[in-house]
Structures are given as structure tokens and as C-alpha cells.
A and B are shown apart, each in its own frame.
Chain A
Amino acid sequence: MKLRICALAVLAALLLPLSLFAKCPISPTGTLVLRAPAGNLILETTASDSVEVEVSNRQVSVQETCKRDVVEITASAPASIGIPDWKIRVPKTVTLDLTTQAGNIHIMDTDGEALLRTPGGKVIAGNIKGNALIIGTEVRTANIGGNVEIRGKGGRLTVGDVGGNAEFESPGGDIIAGIVRGHVKATLGSGSVSIRESNGDVVITTMAGDIKSEYVRGSFDGRTDSGNIHIERVGSWVRAITGVGDIFLRLMPTNYAGDLHVTAEAAFGDITLFVPKAMKATIDAVIERPPLNGKGRIFSDFVLKVPANAFKSLIPGGPDRQGATLNGGGNNIKVRTSVGTITIREAN
């Protein structure tokens, strides 16, 4: 028995210098502000009423300021120790404001808001019920209940469903999102964007990469210099522009009296457009550089006519321009490609 106690004491003595422990009580609606000079932040949500922090390296000097509503934890550490692990336990409802200058951030499901920032490292999060602002090289989260803003540093950004608006910014890397209840804005240096559904308006700009969505209920304004644009269903006006790539759009207006104009332009690529037969529209389809001897590169379920002023259509190799007026005309549908085909199909 004595031997066991001695062994445990020795073990405890050995482990003690390896970790540091801090504990502060916090209100369920309180905020945890944590600033780590370097560290992988591993956050666990618990049913307790306190914040507990354990750092894997004892050379880290942790300073805590404990107030009921705000617990602030800062630290200093010699640079030579590498990146220690910070194990943090907090009540599930607490607002999280976590920053590490170097390291990954892993958090479990939380019912509060979350501000998670690391200039070098990944952010992996479970469900976040409130709003979220996340900065990291690579970000992967489950569902977010409120608005979300994610700023990538170069890496894939993946988010589940979003209850509010979603905003993404990244110099490069793909963006993948589930169903977004609000608006979507994504600005990328390069990379593909895939938004499963959006209830609001969508604005996406990328220098290179595809843009895809199964359903945009609002308007869609998307631009890629090099990539395909594929919007399976879109409920309002559209502006889709690509340098090199194909465009696919299926118009499914939620309000036929609303603004439903369409601009689809590809420098090099095919354009396919589904237009409901009940929609008032004035179609103007142009292939700027049709093949010299390949007639009929504009295909349509609607009867298209060469406009009277399409003078250049008479020159071989000149623009092929055709148009139509549906239900008395109205919403301008401008479809233009330099090299490619245009297909306009009738949709119900």
C-alpha cells in the first residue's frame, strides 16, 4: 500500500511541472477572452459554471482576470518552447473570444457566439449556435446558427448550414457551404465556391475556380475569370460572367413581377439557360466569333430571329446574333459568348 502511495506521489511530482492550471468562475452568459502567444487551443464545453485552462508546458506564464461576466486569460512564453496545447473547459453558453498567434483551434459544440482567430493554423469547430467570426488558414465547422464571417489565409473553408448571412474572404482555397438562410458573399483570390442553397442574394467573385449552387432563391451575381458557373435553380436576377468556362442557369422566379433580368457572358465557353415559358423576357443572344462554316450554334426552344440591325451577321465569321420576345417582352436576357454555343431551353 505504502509503495503504491509513493509511486503515485512520484508520478504526480513528475507530471506537475508539465502542465499549468487556472480556474475562474463565470456566468452562463459571460465571455471568455483568451489571448495565447502560441498554442493549440482545444476547447471542451461542459455543464460546469467555471472556466478551466490547462497548458501543457509549464514555461508558459498564464495570467487570468476573473470577473463573473468576463474571464480574461493572457499568457507569455519563451519562443523556444514550440506550440503547447491549451486545454480549455467552459460552460456551453459562454461567448468565446479566442486568439492564438500560432496554433490550431478545436472547439466542441457551443451555444454562444464565437470569435476564433489564428493567423497560422486550422480552425475546426462543432455547431455554433450564435454568430461566428473565424480567421484561420483552413476552417472547418459544423452548422452555425447566426451570421458567419470566415476569413481564410490560404486553405479550404468548409461550413455546414448557416442560420444567417455568410461572408467569406480568402486569397485561395475552395469554399464549401451548406444551406444559408440569409445572403452569401464570397471574395476569393482563387478557388471554387460551392453553396448548396441560399435563401438570400449571392455575390461571389473568384479569379479562378468554379461557382456552383443547387438553389439560389435571391439574386445571383457571380464572376470567375476561369471556371464554370452552374446554378441549378435561381429565383431572381442573375449576372454570371466567366472568362473561360461554361455557364448553366435555370431560372425559377419566386416573383414574376420582380426584377428578373439576366446577363450571362463567357469569353470562351458554352452557355445553357432555362427560361420559364410564363416569363416576360426580351432575349438577346450573341456569339461573337462563330465558326466560319458551322451554322446553328445558337439552339433554342423559343423561336429566335436575327434582329434587323444585326448588320455584322452578314459577314462570314462575324457575330451571330439572335433574339426573341417572350410574352410581350420585359426582362432583358443578354447571353453572350465569344467562342462557344448558346442553348436556351423552355422551362415550366
Chain B
Amino acid sequence: MSCQEYQRQIVLSLYEELQEGERSGLDTHLRECTGCRQAYKEHQEFSSALAEDETAWELPADLLVESRRALANELDNIERKRSWWRMPAFSVVFTPMRLLESATLIALGLAFGVFISNQQGAPTPTGIDATIASVPQNGRVSNVRIVSTDASTATVEFTGDVVQPLRFTGRLEDDTTRQLLFSAVQDSMNPGSRMQAVEVLARKSSEPSVKEVLIHALLNDENLSVRLKAFEGLKPFAGDEDVRTAFMEALMKDPNDGVRVAVVDALAPFTKSEAMANSIEAVTRYDENNYVRLKGQGLIHMVGAQR
């Protein structure tokens, strides 16, 4: 092996990814080669530095997506470089691994076919997972796991998730529409969808169930725009007890100046009593935003002047 190849193994070695034989080969080479030993030392130092201060690294949020994309592109490039004769159907050399792959694929295909044909006409189990006879049109299957195989009957049992595209039109008052919108508000992976759902629901914020969802979004959603849209929906009801309580909580804990400024402004017209003014002042007393703090103090003067 060349030094270049040994240096490639060094990284794997540091992450304990080398097999025993490779590891001992590398160790022997490192004892003999000064250049590779130096490279090993540098890699080791780098690795230690990373391990020591990993909290200081701020990784971009889209690093994983970008890495996957780069990986996919790289795989595409490799695929393009692969000559047509190296495809299994045309390959002159049938390596053991290739034969094994092919046999496995054929066996799986046969087993799946037998399984499907056996399942047709079978009663649907009453459990959580529904058994299907075929993959629905335009359905995508993910998380496929082989639960069991039976060599004697050549059957395989799979579990997985089938996802199908959905298009639905319904009135805001309808239960299904509501359920879908409520579901979208809770879609933790998709803030854009949450924003849209909250914006739509805000048109019906007078209704208790919608109001409750908006309050939850205002107080708990990690996305600022979702919280702002939930606030907009609740603002006309700042005089209601439940909304006022939620606004007080937002005033206390929301990390964004814009939300707290908007909330304290929304509460001001409904601050009629000294007790309410005092509680707002208490919540805003140490706010780092001058406006929020001074507005809170101003409410006490305002109520005092009204009396």
C-alpha cells in the first residue's frame, strides 16, 4: 500500500473504524514511516481539538441537507463514470458478491409476490397496522423493515409506512378541515406549513378550539413568524381572560422584542384596574427592551390618571 492509502486509513483508525488486520498493518507502517507518523499526529491533534471544544462549533442549520445533497451529487458522478458493461446484466465477471446480491433480489421478489398473493382475500386485522395487498397508486413506501421470513413457505413479512399525496378542499367550519389545520400547526418539521395553518385559523379565532390552538402556538412555537401570526389572530380578543393570561405569559417569556412590544401594546387598552396595571408592570419591570419596560410603567400612571 502507498503512503496515501495509509494516510486515508489514519482517519478511519482515529474513529475506530478499521478492522483488526488493517489496524495492525497501519501500526507497522507508522513505526517505519516518518511522514505518515507526522500525518497521524496532526490528525490526532485535530481530532482532540474538536473533541475538547465541540460546544463552540456553531453548525449551520442546513448542514445535514447540504451534506446529503453533496453526497447524492457525488454518487451521481460515480454512477455516470461507471461504464455500461459493469452493470450486472452485462458484466462478464460474476463475482461472488454480485451473485449473492442477484440471488437475494430474486428471492425477495419471489417471496414478496407469494406474500402478496397469499394476502389477497385475507381478512384485515383489527390492529393498528393495516395490511395491504399492493402499494397504492402514487404511494411511497418508507421505513421498510422485514419482520419475519419463512424459508419453508418462502414468505416474508414487511412493515413500513405508505405515504400518499393528498389534496383536500373543505370549509373552515368542517371537522376534517379543522383536523388537518390543527395537524399542520403541530408539524414540528415544517414551520412554513405551521405559519400558513395559523394564518388561516386566525380568521376563526373567536371559536374556543381555534383560540386554544392559537394560544398554544403563541406560547410554544419555536418559530417567531408562527408566534407573530398567532398573536395577530388573538389580538382582537386581548380583553378575554384566557387570551390576556396567555399574553401575560408571552410578555414574560417570549425572547423576541417584537412579540413583547406587540403584546404590551395589545394589553394596554384593556388595562382598566390598578391590579392589572401592577401585574403588567411586575412582569415588564426587568425587561431588557426599554419600550416594554416603560410601557409597563406607563400603564400604572395611565390607570392612576383615569381614576
List chain A positions with a Cβ less than 8 A from chain B.
Answer: 38, 79-83, 101-103, 118-122, 137-138, 152-156, 171-174, 189-192, 207-210, 224-228, 243-245, 267, 288-289, 291-294, 297, 309, 311-312, 317, 339
Q: Which of B141, B189, B194, B228 has the most CB of A within 10 A?
A: B228
Does the CB pair A292–B261 fall under 8 Å?
no
Contacts of A289 in B (CB 8 A): 140
Q: Measured between C-beta atoms, what is the minimum distance from A76 to chain B in Å?
A: 14
A173 engages B258 (CB within 8 Å) = yes
Nearest-CB residue, chain B, relative to A312: B79
Q: Is the CB of A155 within 8 A of B258?
A: yes
Asked if A152 and B258 sit within 8 Å, CB to CB, the answer is yes
Q: How would you classify the secondary structure of chain B's contact residues: helix, strand, loop or mixed? A: helix
Give every chain A residue within 8 A of B140 (Cβ-Cβ).
289, 291-292, 339
Q: In the complex, what distance in Å separates the CA atom of A227 from the CA atom of B226?
A: 13
Nearest CB of B to A293, in Å: 6
Chain B residues with CB below 8 A from A292, complex form = 135, 139-141
A209-B192, A291-B138 given; 8 more Cβ-contact pairs under 8 Å: A103-B291, A119-B290, A121-B291, A174-B225, A225-B61, A244-B192, A294-B139, A311-B87
Contact B294 A79 (CB under 8 A): yes
B62 at the interface (CB under 8 A from A): yes
**In the complex, per-residue mask of B62-74: 1 if CB is within 8 Å of any chain A CB, else 0:** 1001000000100
Contact residues of B between 117 and 173, Cβ < 8 Å to A: 134-135, 137-141, 163
**CA A192 to CA B195, docked complex, whole Å:** 9
Query: Contacts A173-B224, A288-B72: A226 and B137 contacting too (C-beta < 8 A)?
Result: no
Contacts A80-B297, A154-B259, A172-B225; A120 near B289 (Cβ below 8 A)? yes
- Are B228 and A155 in contact (CB-based, < 8 A)? yes
> How far is it, in angstroms, between the C-alpha of A225 and the C-alpha of B191 when the chains are bound?
9
Q: Which of B274-292 contact A (CB under 8 A)?
A: 289-292
CA distance A294 to B82 in the complex (A): 28
B256 at the interface (CB under 8 A from A): yes
Q: Spell out B's residues near A (CB within 8 Å).
A: 61-62, 65, 72, 79-80, 82, 87, 134-135, 137-141, 163, 189-196, 223-228, 256-259, 261-262, 289-295, 297-299, 301-302
Q: Is the interface of A mostly helix, strand, loop or mixed?
A: loop
A236 to B164: give the CA distance in the assembly, Å. 36
Whether the Cβ atoms of A244 and B193 lie closer than 8 Å is yes
Q: How far is the CB of B111 from chain A (nearest CB, A)?
A: 16
Q: Considering only CB atoms, which chain B residue lies closest to A243 in the complex?
A: B65
Is there contact, CB below 8 Å, between A83 and B262?
no
Closest to A80 in B: B297
Contacts of B163 in A (CB 8 A): 339
13 contacts between A and B (CB under 8 A): A81-B301, A82-B299, A82-B301, A101-B291, A103-B291, A120-B289, A172-B224, A172-B227, A172-B258, A174-B225, A294-B138, A294-B139, A311-B87
Bound form: Cα–Cα A122–B295 in Å: 13
Task: Answer whether A121 and B261 are a contact pair too, CB < 8 Å, given A171-B224, A245-B192.
Answer: yes
B295 close to A83 (CB less than 8 A): yes
Q: How far is the CB of A290 from chain B (nearest CB, A)?
A: 8
Chain A residues in 8 Å Cβ range of B228: 154-156, 172-173, 191
Of the residues B79, B80, B289, contact of A119 by C-beta under 8 Å = B289
| A288 nearest in chain B by CB position | B72
Q: How far is the CA of A176 from the CA of B83 in the complex (A)?
A: 52
Name the CB-closest residue of B to A268: B190
Q: Is B223 within 8 A of A208, CB to CB?
A: yes
With beta carbons under 8 angstroms apart, the residue of A102, A210, A224 that contacts B290 is: A102
User: Which of A81, A190, A191 has most chain B Cβ within 10 Å?
Assistant: A190
**Closest residue of A by beta carbon distance from B254:** A154
Complex contact A120–B261 (CB within 8 A) = yes
Which of chain A's residues have a CB closer than 8 A to the CB of B191?
190, 207-208, 225-226
